[in-house]
Amino acid sequence: MNPRPAGEAGAAAVRIRLVGAALLAALLAGIAIEPRWAQPLQSAWFDTLQSLQPRQVAAYPVTVVEIDQKSLAALGQWPWPRTVLARLLREIDRAQPAAIGINILMPEADALSPERLLAATPIADEAVAAALKALPSNDALLAEAIAATRGVLAVAGAPAPTGIRLRAAPVMVRADGDAATLPVARYAGAVASIDELNRAAAGWGLISVDASGGIVRRVPLVASIDGTLVPTLALELLRVSAGANALRLSASGDAVDAVAIGSLSFPTEADGSLRPYFSGHAPERFVSALDVLQGQADPSLFERQLVLIGLTGIGLHEYLDTPLGERMSGVEIQAQLLENLIDGSWLRRPDRAAAAEALVVLLLGGLLLWATPRTRPEVAAALLLGCLLLLLGASVLLFQTRRLLLDAATPSVGLMLLFGVLLTLTLAEANRQRRLLERTVQKQREQAARVAGELEAAQRIQNSTLPRRDLLAGDARIDLAALLTPAREVGGDLYDYFRLDGRRLFFLIGDVAGKGLSASIFMAVSKALYKSVTLRTLLADACDLPDLGRVMNVADAEVSRDNGEMLFVTAFAAVLDLDSGELAYCNAGHDNPYRLQPERKELLRIGDGDGPPLSTVPGFPYEGARLTLVPGELLCLITDGVTEALNTAGALYGAPRVERVLLGLGADAGAADVVAALQADVLAFVGGADVADDLTILVLRWLGPQPVR
């Protein structure tokens, strides 16, 4: 072995690994800091995990009273008079729920309240006007109901100051840094219900959610509105139901650790948000407001339950996308968050998840870095596939068993990028090494080209020795066609025909043992010798049909002379008297020709005048034979390349199939038609299999003693 190429290959592998190591370091840094550009991919993977296994709900601790399409159809369009909402609260409160949350903003006074109707429409009847003035306002009645039922009202964040007086339960902060700089969601202003209603409420909860990318993946448990910390509606509902006076927030440095109510503590993300684990939309969670007002709702749906009142009717509320691919109303999202808080089923993204993912990429990337330059591409690709399956499988398993969110998508893309670069560099190096070997290979190609050129020349020479197609043109006594298709560039089959004189036609078909160049050379020699013997022997016998056995004996002696390779050839030779149809022939080990007479429905075969192949039995006395053709009779001569053709299943074409083709032709089929039909059937039978032997067909039909044109 030349040590220099090995040294160059080793240096190339080092260069590839250095580039790969630099790329791997960049990937590790990107995964560890979780850049913004990678977050959509990470979020899509987390959504996929939830879609594969949504949260299964065994019991529903939260009941949603929905102002749905059925309620609107029966009670009129929204907004309803707030007396109806007050009645709804009192009907729910009859079943003694744990707490009632109203997920509806009422920032203006009720336009249907009696005093507002009186102001908008002056009434002439003083008694009626006085009666209307004496009635309490709708907002006052709703405020009484809220106070009586200890209802919790909704607050929404606004991007600009609104001047609304904000009410919120106190949040006690325990932090080792500045609480004002905690990275919680922040709003400049608030949108809330009118102060008359707010004063009566037992709690106030935020209904704004984080819908980054248009999908609700995280919900802030606390947010800052103009510097005041406000809990989310679900969390505030839990506080009111627990009878706690305040919430507690703990933080370490600049990150929120948890939010607590009494003995309940809820770990959060650094920004104080929580990742809900969504279940699919469940009708069991909902009851129509109309059914409650009409007393048709089951009281057990509210007893000791957390109840949320919200809008779900068409056009009344904006529906939000969830990781499951389902759109849900805001009240249903709050209900699912409540269920998560109660049963502890929310999803967790560990603080050190990014570091763990970077470590996994370091290990798997290092394995690819070691293996890719030194193994075959398919082996390296299989290793990459195994790494990806390990990543994805571990992520799915941790999600299913621990509800932990570990990103498998970003590391997978990073590993594929690393593998792609390594593979590209490895293939480029392989191409460079291949070019270094081109000089040696070029010599081999030149040698192969010379051989191919010689074979092509041999093929041209072989084709040039075949008789011309126009040799019998204009002779109405005979119709003759032939075909020779070698299995390789050149072959060992042969055929020939030529006139001895105006009456006699000599024709020959043969097959040399073997294929390829050696067989073609022996074929050319045998054909030349046979033709020479025929002309010397038969031209002296003008106007007579000779004894073809005598010709075969002389040809056998000529072919056997100087045959050191012990090659042999089968041959069928014949002379046809074109005037009388008399045929003299001799067969040296060749397939017997087929005879098809126009008035008969069966095939005949020439079966006499036989002997062994030429150059196999020294001095064998060949004897010729004779027969007389009838006008229109057809002779078909073939080599064993026809009958021994193999298909893809290894089956032989066989003589019976030849007979079916010949018998299936019409009585007026010409010699060329017979050749074409037989060739087409053989090719259809062989299909895509390699051609095993040369294929030669010679067909002639004696048409009768007609004058020559």
Domain layout of the chain by residue ranges: 3-52+350-436, 62-343, 467-702
Calpha distance 448→440 (Å, rounded): 13
313 to 64, 316, 424, 636, 652: CA distances (angstroms): 13, 6, 57, 89, 77
In three-state secondary structure terms, 615 is coil
pLDDT value at position 2? 41
Q: What is the DSSP string of 10-75?
A: HHHHHHHHHHHHHHHHHHHHHHHH--GGGHHHHHHHHHHHHHHSPPP-S---EEEEEE-HHHHHHH
Q: Which amino acid is at 504?
A: R
Q: For residue 446, what pLDDT band results from cuts at 50, 70 and 90?
A: low
pLDDT for res 448: 61
Q: Around 227, how many Cα atoms within 13 Å sit in the side-chain half-sphere?
A: 3
Indicate the pLDDT class of residue 518, thresholds 50, 70 and 90. low
Of 683, 708, 709, nearest to 697 by C-alpha is 683
pLDDT reading at 708 higher than 60: no
The angle formed by the CA atoms of residues 421, 425 and 429, to the nearest 5 degrees, is 170
Helix count (H) and strand count (E) of the chain?
20, 29
Radius of gyration of the chain measured on its C-alpha atoms? 50
Q: What is the dihedral of CA 141, 144, 148, 154, to 10 degrees?
A: 90
Residue 324 near residue 342 (C-beta atoms within 8 A)? no
Per residue in 342-392, pLDDT (tens digit) is 999 999 999 889 999 999 999 999 999 888 888 888 999 999 999 999 999
Q: What top-level class would CATH report for the domain 467-702? A: alpha beta
* pLDDT for res 9: 61
Q: What is the dihedral of CA 512, 514, 516, 519, to 10 degrees?
A: -40
- Residue of 592, 558, 555, 600 lying closest to 572 (CA atoms): 592
* Helix, strand, coil percentages in the chain from 3-state DSSP, rounded to 5: 45, 20, 35
| pLDDT, mean of residues 206-218 | 87
Show Cβ contacts of residue 383 under 8 Å, excluding neighbours closer than 6 positions.
367, 368, 371, 372, 375
pLDDT class for 7, splitting at 50, 70, 90?
A: low
The pLDDT of residue 3 is 41
219-273 confidence digits (pLDDT tens): 999 999 999 999 999 999 999 999 999 999 999 988 999 999 999 999 999 999 9
pLDDT at 709: 43
**Phi, psi of 705, deg, nearest 5:** -80, 70
pLDDT band, very low/low/confident/very high, at 50 (cuts 50, 70, 90): very high
Mean pLDDT of the region 451-464:
62
Q: Report pTM.
A: 0.61
DSSP state of 176: S
Across 610-619, average pLDDT: 88
pLDDT band at 136 (very low <50, low <70, confident <90, very high): confident
| Cβ atoms 155, 228 nearer than 8 A | no
Q: What would the two tokens of residue 310 be?
A: 């919200």
Do residues 554 and 586 make contact, with C-beta atoms less than 8 angstroms apart? no
- Tokens coding 512: 């040399």
pLDDT of residue 556 exceeding 80: yes
Q: CB 484: neighbour CB atoms within 10 A? A: 20
Residue 558: strand, helix, or coil: helix
Kindly tell me if the per-residue pLDDT of 38 is higher than 50: yes
C-alpha span between 625 and 655 (Å, rounded): 23
What is the secondary structure of 133-153 as a DSSP string? HHSPPHHHHHHHHHHHHTEEE
The total of other beta-carbon atoms located within 10 Å of residue 379's CB is 12
Give per-residue pLDDT as tens, 458-492: 666 666 677 877 778 888 899 999 998 887 766 67
Ranges 183-187, 468-472, 612-616, 699-703: which has the least confidence: 468-472
Cα separation, 36 vs 410, in Å, equals: 12
What whole-number distance in Å separates Cα of residue 410 and Cα of residue 41?
7
pLDDT number for residue 390: 95
Q: Is 498 exposed, middle or buried (0-12, 13-18, 19+ CB in 10 A)?
A: middle
Give residue 544's pLDDT.
Answer: 72
Q: Looking at residue 165, what DSSP letter applies? A: P
Mean pLDDT score across all residues of the chain: 87
User: 281-314 pLDDT, tens per residue?
Assistant: 999 999 999 999 999 999 999 999 999 999 998 8
Higher pLDDT among residues 493 and 159, named by residue: 159
What percent of the chain has pLDDT above 70? 90
Q: Tens digits of per-residue pLDDT, 402-426?
A: 999 999 999 999 999 999 988 888 8
Please state the rounded mean pLDDT for residues 662-672: 85
* pLDDT band, residue 567 (cuts 50/70/90): confident
Provide the Cα torsion 702, 706, 708, 709; round to 10°: -110
Query: What's the pLDDT tens digit per position in 21-35?
Result: 888 888 888 888 877
Q: How does residue 1 score in pLDDT terms, banded at 50, 70 and 90?
A: very low
